[in-house]
Copies of this chain bind each other. A is one copy, B any other.
Amino acid sequence: MTFVPSEKNRSKPAFDTIEFRRAELPSEPIVPEVRNVAQRQWTLSAGLLRNPDAESLPCLISCSGCLAKELGLCAGLNQKPETESDPRAAITLLTSSVHTIPARRTICHPKEWSEFIPIICHGWALSSIILPDGRRQILSFPLAGDLVSTASLLEPMSGRSVEAVTEVTYRKFKRSDLKAILFENPIFFENISKAWVEERTQSDQLALGLGRRSADERIARLILNLAERLAKRGMTNGQTMEFPLRQRHIADATGLTPVHVSKVMGEFQRAGLIEINSRSLTISDEAELRRVADWR
C-alpha cells in the first residue's frame, strides 16, 4: 500500500489547463479592464435596463435581491434617480467602482489581499479552491446580486479563487467604508446575517451532496439549483435558460470528472429530462429531474 492514490494526478496534470492554473497563481492580480457601465447605452424595457451587448437571449440586469442594494449601499444599475433631487441620487453611500472583465479571466486570487468587496452585477462567476496539484473544487457560481462570499465582507483574504465564466460586470466596494457604515448602524447586521445564514445553508448542502449523493443526484441538483436562482433573477424563459457552463465547470462543482459529467448529461438528454443546444438549457421533464435529484 502506497497511500498515494492520486500520484498520477500529481506527476501528470489531470486536465490540460493545470499548467495555466499553476502559472496563474503566483502572478499579480490582473488589472481589470475598466468600462464604466454608466457610459454604456442602455434601453429601458419593462422597468429593467436591457444590456445592448447581449446578443442571443435578452439578458436583463436586475439588482433585486442584491445585498448591497438591500443594505441601501448601492442604488443599483436599474434605479436611476428620476431627478437631481431624487433621494436615490444620494443612496450610493459607498465609494464603489464598476468593472467588466471578459470570460475566463480571474477576478480575485486566493492569496490576494484585497481591500475591496466584489459584488457581481452581471454575468456568471465561479468561486473555487485549487490545490497545488491542480485539483479544483468549485464552491459556488455567484450570479448577479451575489457576494462571492459573506466572509469577504470582513476579511481581506478569501482564500478562494474567483473567476469569470461569462463576461462579468462587478462592483467593488471599499471594505473600510462598509465596515465604518456597519459599525455606525448595527441594524445592518440583520441584513448581513441573513445572507450569512443563507450561505451557511448552501455550504452545508454542498458538503452533504459531495459526501453522500450519487453523481446523478449531484448533477441534477446543480441544474435545478441554478434554474431556481436564475428564475429568481428573471433570467429564465419558461424552462429555458442560458447555460454558459462547460462540462469542466460542472465536474469541478460536483466533484466528478468531465468525462463522467458528459456521460450523465448524455443520459439525461436521451431520457428526455433536459435539452441542451448552443449554450442554452431547457428542463423538459422537471418532475422527473426533481425525482432524480431527490429534491426537497
Contact = CB atoms under 8 A, between A and B. Distances in A.
Interface of A: 1, 3-6, 129, 131, 133, 135-137, 139, 149-151, 154-155, 159-160, 182-183, 186-187, 189, 193, 196-197, 199-201, 203-208, 210-217, 220, 254-255, 267, 271, 288, 291-292, 294
A151 B200 contact: yes
Main secondary structure of the interface of A (DSSP, over half): helix
Contacts of A288: 3
A212 B135 contact: yes
A264 to B, nearest CB: 9
A129 B208 contact: yes
A149 B200 contact: yes
Contact of A197 (B136, B151, B216): B151
Contacts of A189: 182-183, 186, 189
Given A135-B212, A189-B189, A154 B197 contact: yes
A150 B199 CA distance: 12
Number of this chain's copies in the assembly equals 2
A4 to B, nearest CB: 8
A216 to B, nearest CB: 5
A204 B136 contact: no
Given A154-B193, A155-B197, A189-B183, A211 B137 contact: yes
Contacts of A139: 204, 207
Contact of A186 (B183, B205, B294): B183
Given A3-B267, A154-B196, 5 more contacts: A1-B271, A137-B211, A151-B200, A207-B207, A211-B255
Contacts of A197: 151, 154-155
27 contacts: A1-B267, A3-B216, A3-B220, A3-B267, A129-B205, A131-B208, A131-B294, A137-B207, A137-B211, A137-B212, A139-B207, A151-B196, A151-B197, A151-B200, A154-B196, A182-B186, A183-B186, A183-B187, A183-B189, A186-B189, A199-B200, A200-B203, A203-B204, A203-B207, A210-B210, A211-B254, A212-B255
A196 B183 CA distance: 17
A138 to B, nearest CB: 9
Contacts of A216: 3, 5
Contacts of A267: 1, 3
A67 to B, nearest CB: 15
A151 to B, nearest CB: 4
Given A154-B196, A204-B160, A131 B210 contact: no
Nearest to A220: B3
Nearest to A4: B292
B203 A203 contact: yes
B159 A201 contact: yes
